[in-house]
Amino acid sequence: MQKILVIEDETSVRENIIELLFAEEFEVICAENGRQGVRRATAEVPDLIICDVMMPELDGFGVLTELRQNPATSRIPFIFLTAKADRADWRQGMELGADDYLTKPFTREELLGAIAARYQKQLALQQERDRELQQLEQKYRHRLQTDSLTTLPTRLMLPSLLEQATAKITASEPIVPLICLGLDRFSRINDNLGNDFGDRLLVAVAQRLNASVRMGCATIRLDSDRFAIITPPSPSRTQAARTTETILTSLRLPFRLEDQEIFITASFGIALYPQDGRHIEQLIQNATKALNVVKVQGGDDYQFYLAARHGYSENDLALENQLRYALERQQLQLYYQPQYHLQTGEITGAEALLRWRLDDGSFIPPAKFIPLAETSGLIVPIGEWVLQTACQEAKIWQKAGFPNLRVAVNISARQLERPDWRSSLVKILTNEDFPPQLLELELTESILLRDTEAAIKALQALKALSVRIAIDDFGTGYSGLSYLQRFPFDKLKIDRSFILNLHQDSTKSNLTQAIIEMARYLHLKVVAEGVESAEEMAWLQERYCDEIQGYFFSHPLPLEQFLKFLDPRNRGSMNALG
């Protein structure tokens, strides 16, 4: 219990309380009337509120009623102050959901006692919630950690498997190789022989991998046709190369399925702990880079990650130079992809997606230039432009008769790290006179992994502005769901890799169902991204997913077209959704 809001119209009483609390090293903020109190509580979300009952205009009951209705403030412990011990007042306060009552004049001990009691109660509630969540996670643990198709561990197991391996490092065996492999041209098998056949082949591949790796290796299914192998500590890269060659050779042998002989090959990328990364995300990322080089060269081979080889290319440098001028030359533009509520059938808002169009009319995809903008630091001015433009353009649709539509903006880790980022956000909101509750910031998990405590603080400071926060691409990272409850998220966006054909894929549907159920427990709204078909939508609707976003409903659209799309008269073809 650190920050306490005191709402009291009588100056002497207010100052008395403030002094008392200061002496106890609480952070104290105050308000001189009920209206101001509600505003401060909503803006700063204190840990506790002490509020007078009798105040002109909005009295204490009014304050409590308003705060209890707003999800951001509904759970803040609330202590009433009253001049007389009036039973009717007391009953009304308690019925509205006050936590305690103090009668003026009260002693220092009474005040501190009431605060301490609230603190204990909050702590107990938090522990209770932690326990319930653990039980829920226990229930899903097996599903989340074991791939239902191949029975291999899933990517959620990567951090602990890496830890187990690195714990065994010795002076003579100082490295842990991580091998990523992807089957070559696997989608052709699915397309030509059907998904069932593809699934059976994946099971056979998983078995062969397990049979061909050396003792003590862990095999993990990353996603559809990609696997990772963490080997025990090695003396040198030679041993990693040998292990990889063994697997590579074993996969070349034909697979016999339904009396057919199938030949497949795979591409391998290897990253070494610690020199290629100490964190699992970094190792997987680097091994994948090496794997992708092999794929481009035709597959059926392996490569080690080498920072120099996979670093900046000439092309990247040229592109980065062009990106420097993109803002000035007005080559950047925002497209909007609507989000659709599955139960109410309404459009709730849109995600702003950045587009870079060169003067010759060609588009560079964000997947290519956003990483460049991040490594070069250009993401900071570009991100600021995105935020400002999104607010300006969202005001256009709000004025066009859709005053409650939210706009969601992607924020990269590099932006959030900047100490002045929050103040530039405040400036934009003020200058554009934009209602903060209609702005949603989309953050990815990677932002939160490194320094959790600092990240929680930064997000709480954002929440205090009343902006909404969504966790993006959920499911692609390595953290479990219980981790989420420590962060003040409003929304969870399930990554589109889980949604594609999930109605035909038990691994994806199991995971998605677990994510939806746990998100509901944490009071998070759930959005499914990348919904491309009626079947996917129907599956999600049956499981009470809140919202969808994807090509099935609409592609991202330039502002003009998005405004047209909002008009129900232009959406005849979407009847299937209504």
**Of the candidates 505, 534, 445, 539, the residue with the CA atom closest to the CA atom of residue 225:** 505
Closest approach of Cβ 431 to ligand C2E, in Å?
19
Q: Quick check: 410 binds ligand C2E (CB under 6 A)?
A: yes
Closest approach of Cβ 386 to ligand C2E, in Å?
4
DSSP assignment of 169-229: --SSS-BEEEEEEEETTHHHHHHHH-HHHHHHHHHHHHHHHHHHSPTT-EEEEEETTEEEE
Stretch that binds ligand C2E, among 214-222, 299-307, 359-367, 478-486 (CB under 6 A): 359-367
Among 556, 557, 559, 565, binds ligand C2E (CB under 6 A): 556
Q: Quick check: 199 binds Ca ion (CB under 5 A)?
A: no
Q: Which does 221 bind (CB under 5 to 8 A by kind): Ca ion, ligand C2E, none?
A: none
Closest approach of Cβ 334 to ligand C2E, in Å?
7
Closest approach of Cβ 192 to ligand C2E, in Å?
22
* 358-417 binders of Ca ion (CB under 5 A): 410
DSSP assignment of 366-388: HHHHHHHHHHHSTHHHHHHHHHH
Q: Quick check: 365 binds ligand C2E (CB under 6 A)?
A: yes
Q: How many CB atoms lie within 10 A of CB 148?
A: 15
Q: How many CA atoms lie within 13 A of 356 on its CB side?
A: 20
The DSSP letter of residue 350 is E
Q: Quick check: 389 binds ligand C2E (CB under 6 A)?
A: no
Helix or strand (DSSP H, E) at 7: strand 3-7
Helix or strand (DSSP H, E) at 347: strand 347-357
Stretch that binds Ca ion, among 39-47, 282-290, 471-479, 552-560 (CB under 5 A): 471-479
Size, binding site for ligand C2E by CB under 6 A: 21
Among 244, 412, 509, 510, binds ligand C2E (CB under 6 A): 412
Q: Which does 93 bind (CB under 5 to 8 A by kind): Ca ion, ligand C2E, none?
A: none
Q: How far is CA 86 from CA 90, 314, 320, 405, in A?
A: 6, 78, 70, 45
Write a three-state SS string for 229-296.
EECCCECCHHHHHHHHHHHHHHHHCCEEECCEEECCCEEEEEEEECCCCCCHHHHHHHHHHHHHHHHH
Q: Which is nearer to ligand C2E, 28 or 527 (CB)?
A: 527
Q: Quick check: 16 binds ligand C2E (CB under 6 A)?
A: no
Q: Quick check: 536 binds Ca ion (CB under 5 A)?
A: no
Site string for Ca ion, 406-445 (x = CB under 5 A): ----x-------------------------------x---
* 300-339 binders of ligand C2E (CB under 6 A): 337
Q: Quick check: 496 binds ligand C2E (CB under 6 A)?
A: yes
| Phi and psi, residue 181, nearest 5° | -135, 145
* 455-494 binders of ligand C2E (CB under 6 A): 472-473
Q: Which does 370 bind (CB under 5 to 8 A by kind): ligand C2E, Ca ion, none?
A: ligand C2E
The DSSP letter of residue 355 is E
**Of the candidates 160, 165, 188, the residue with the CA atom closest to the CA atom of residue 177:** 165
Stretch that binds ligand C2E, among 136-144, 146-154, 365-373, 459-467 (CB under 6 A): 365-373
Q: Quick check: 288 binds Ca ion (CB under 5 A)?
A: no
- According to DSSP, the β-strands at 255-257 and 260-262 are antiparallel
Q: Which one-letter amino acid corresponds to residue 373? A: A
Cis bond upstream, residue 105 (ω within 30): yes
Q: Quick check: 550 binds ligand C2E (CB under 6 A)?
A: yes
